[in-house]
Amino acid sequence: MTKQQAAVDGTLLFLLGTIAFLGFDDTYAGWTYLIAGVAGLLLGILIAFVGRGQPVVVLAVGLLAAFFVLGGAVALHGIGDLSFLPVPDTVGTLADNSVHGWKRLLTTLPPVDGGALLTIPYILGLLAGCLGFAMALRMKAALPPVLVAFALLAGVILLGVQDPSKTALLGALFGALAITWLCIRGMRARTLASTGGRRLSRTAIGAALCLGAAGLAFLGGPLLPGLAPERTVLRGEIEPPFNVGQYPSPLAGFRVYTKGYQTPEDDRRLYEKDLFTVSGLPEGTRVRVAAMDSYDGTVWRAANDSGVTEGPEDTFRKVSSTLRNPLADGKQVKGTITIGEDFGGVWVPLPTALTHISFDGPDADSFRYNLATSTGVLPSSLKPGDSYSFTASVDDAKVGEKSEPWSGGSPIGDEAAQFQALAAEYAGGGDSPMTNALAVAEKLKSEGTYTDGEPPNQQYPAGHSLRRLADFTAKGGQLAGNDEQYAALMAILANQVGVPARVVLGAVVGSDGVIQGKDMHAWVELRMSDGSWATLDWSEFMNTEKPPQQNAPQPEELVTGKVVPPPAPVRPPATSGDPLDESVNQKANSRPDGFTLPGWLVAVLKYVGVPILLVAAVCGAIIGAKLWRRHRRRTRGTPVARLSGGWRETLDNARDYGVGVPVGATRREQASVLSAAPGLDAAPGLALLTDTTMFGEEHPADAEVEAFWEQVGSLRTSLSDSRTRWQRIRAAINPLSLVPARVWRKR
């Protein structure tokens, strides 16, 4: 293959790879994925080119070296101070992502931030570039290297999203280029009977046919019958491993926020303690801690999938900093929430319809978000002092009597069927489900009383299990409870009258943005006919001003005789943890007052300087390794070993200049090969000296060995002097001689 042909193959493979990587445009945020993929592609092609004619194992070693040495600079440069260097952490991260990154990519809600997941396009690029170009160089058949490009495209599609954009354009471009490459290689593979004009006309006709086919595919492809209605991607086949049901319901622990919470431990009474501080959000914005859309007879809890089949996906998925949120059609606001000393746990306070989030402090990698409930969890737990900024679309729709409810089913099952009669009684026979739901709310508000179970109302315990709610609503008794019982019952009764409902725990942002325990409330959200959820505020179904009567009559009967287990133990929000280190905070917030580099220069240094530094470091390491090897060969071991080392040093020097010798040959045979190269005329003499000293009856003396090494040095100088400066530099940084000789068929 000529250099021109190799250049054509390399260019076409590069273009095909680049087009294939553009398929990640909807999978990754930004364009860093393209840099990683293209860098991998170029490196792969370079490795295949440098390793042409060498065994496959050499290519494999080159790929591994490129992956681990340059992987940090290409894929991890933005996630740590030294991540661009091949330090142990970087190598570990690369290794980890090469194994687990695929799963992380598929289980993260797209678009995915770059970060460590850029390792995936980098690996794909390296493999496709090296494999494709090596096949192009080594095989005459036209198809194999083109198949590698197709495999890369298939990989990108499988790892991508189900509804990408620009598929037709990219597909047509890719197809046209692939066919062109196939034709070019096919023409090379067979000997044409004629040349000149006939060959030119064939080429022109072929190119025109390719363009025509590509255009036809672009225009008519989507209309062809038999096409799968949905794109097959691995993302759709993978079950997210996260289970939100493992966390206790925050509604069950609501009483810790109340004024009347009875506990001997003062620090667990959060009524007047700062839980978190909200800045940037307008006053009156609702901040949601948790949305509970499943009732199991014991507690309302957040479910992995509430069974709602339409609308946004009701699962907690890993997300990147940017989300494509289908509910984000309201007013966009930016805000920041800082966690106080008395708040913690896994539930992340957020407004509705999040579109962007960035954490300052906690481990953002574990953050998961549920698009259907607009709530987030952080399995690694929030800690005092943690802060995060976000952009969200806040749209607090209120329920009206004329609103039409969702008719697609209730999020809860038959667990609360016993409240059917009660719901009908409270509703009073309205003409629509929504009217009935509002009537229930009005009934609860008008007849209900409020207590946190403080003395003398200890008979009204916490919890919202069926038994507690049955007691709550027993005939002859009085409705007495707080947000927990009222919201739980309201949501159950709303579901019974035909309006899908769920319970939300959260707070409304006040003027100062500080959320204390007393600001925490539970409200109900009702699902509207368009699939959205409208807020039914706690003030609509709960009268906080009316205390229970002490001489109220005892309830006549329990609604149910079913033995209901006690509520699940609820861990109160964590209050432990180190206080915020002010000094660290101040240090982090401080800005240097001195000279700062322009942004463009920083960018250039980051993307150009760092790789150059890395390459320089690699070259330095190679030169250092050779110097160390030479020193070791000259000074370590017996005289015989040093003598043998001197000859091996000569062979390695020659190898660095591209002069190889047969393995297993005698030194004089090797020397006869070497002597044909410029600057190595003295090699046969040195080989004879080595052999006669080595195989003589007497062991070589130290002085003899030292004199021999002087000759080794002279030969090295002679070899170096016979070459150009550029050849000397290439030889100095040529790593091939560092590979053990047994790896090579020829040294």
Partner 1 sequence: MTVTQEQARWFHDTFEKLADNVEKAVLGKRNVIRLVLTALLSEGHLLLEDYPGTGKTQLARALANTVQGSHARIQFTPDLLPSDVTGVTVYDQGKGTFEFHPGPIFHSIVLADEINRASPKTQSALLEVMEEGRVTVDGATREVGRPFMVIATQNPIEQAGTYRLPEAQLDRFLLKTSVGYPDQNATVELLMNSSVRDRATLVTPIITAPTVTQMAEMADQVYIDPAIVAYVSALVDHSRRHKHVRLGASMRGCLALVRTAKVWALAEGRSQVLPDDVKALAEPVLCHRLILDPEAMFNGVTVEDVIGDLLTSVPAPQERVS
Could you tell me the smallest distance in angstroms from the CB atom of residue 649 to partner 1?
A: 13
DSSP letter (8 states) at residue 429: S
Stretch that binds partner 1, among 48-56, 449-457, 509-517, 637-645 (CB under 8 A): 637-645
Contact with partner 1 (CB under 8 A) among 544, 644, 722, 734: 644
**Among residues 581, 506, 573, which one has the least CA distance to residue 343?**
573
Of 141 and 688, which has the nearer Cβ to partner 1?
688
Question: Which of 301/667 has CB closer to partner 1?
Answer: 667
Angle between helix 483-496 and 420-427 (nearest 10):
90
| Residues 678-697, mask of contacts with partner 1 (x by CB under 8 A) | -------------xx-xxxx
Give dist(CA 86, CA 614) in Å, integer: 9
> Tokens standing for 245?
């049901």
Task: Please report whether residue 638 would count as binding partner 1 according to CB under 8 A.
Answer: yes
The residue (of 33 and 708) whose beta carbon lies closer to partner 1 is: 708
CB 206 within 8 A of CB 198: no
Question: Site size for partner 1, by CB under 8 A?
Answer: 19
Does residue number 740 form part of the binding site for partner 1 (CB under 8 A)? no
Which lies closer to partner 1 via its Cβ, residue 104 or residue 634? 634
Q: How far is the CB of 236 from partner 1 (least distance, A)?
A: 56
Strands 300-301 and 316-319: what pairing?
A: unpaired
Task: Determine contact, residues 360/388, Cβ cutoff 8 Å.
Answer: yes
| 181 lines the binding site for partner 1 (CB under 8 A) | no
Q: How far is the CB of 166 from partner 1 (least distance, A)?
A: 58
- Pick the piece of the chain touching partner 1 (CB under 8 A) from 195-203, 248-256, 559-567, 641-649: 641-649
Of 276 and 647, which has the nearer Cβ to partner 1?
647
Cα–Cα distance list, 351 to 284, 316, 361, 556 (Å): 11, 16, 20, 43
Would you say 67 or 647 has its CB closer to partner 1? 647
Whole-number minimum distance, CB 719 to partner 1, in Å?
21
Six token digits for residue 621: 């390491």
Shortest distance (Å) from residue 646 CB to partner 1: 12
> How far is residue 625's CA from residue 5's CA, in Å, rounded to a whole number?
36
Integer Cα distance of 597 and 602 in angstroms: 6
Question: What tokens does 301 get?
Answer: 């809890």
User: Tokens 């995915």 map to which residue?
Assistant: 112
Which DSSP state fits 450?
Answer: E
Strands (E), 545-606: none
Q: Which two tokens stand for residue 541?
A: 């179904």
The answer to whether the beta carbons of residues 648 and 656 sit under 8 Å apart is no
Cα–Cα distance list, 502 to 307, 392, 421, 499, 505 (Å): 13, 21, 20, 10, 10
Going by the DSSP 8-state scheme, the letter that residue 605 receives in this structure is I
Minimum CB distance to partner 1 smaller for 64 or for 640 = 640
In the beta sheet, which residues pair with residue 523?
Answer: 504
**Of 640, 707, 729, 743, the one binding partner 1 by CB under 8 A:** 640
Choice between 95 and 694, CB closer to partner 1: 694
Give the Cα separation of 32 and 71 in Å (integer).
Answer: 13
- Choose between 55 and 326: whose C-beta lies nearer to partner 1: 55
Interaction pattern, residues 652-671, with partner 1; x per rule: CB under 8 A: -----------xxxxxxx--
Question: x-or-dash pattern for partner 1, window 43-62, by CB under 8 A?
Answer: --------------------
User: Residues in the site for partner 1, rule: CB under 8 A?
Assistant: 638, 640-641, 644, 647, 663-669, 691-692, 694-697, 699
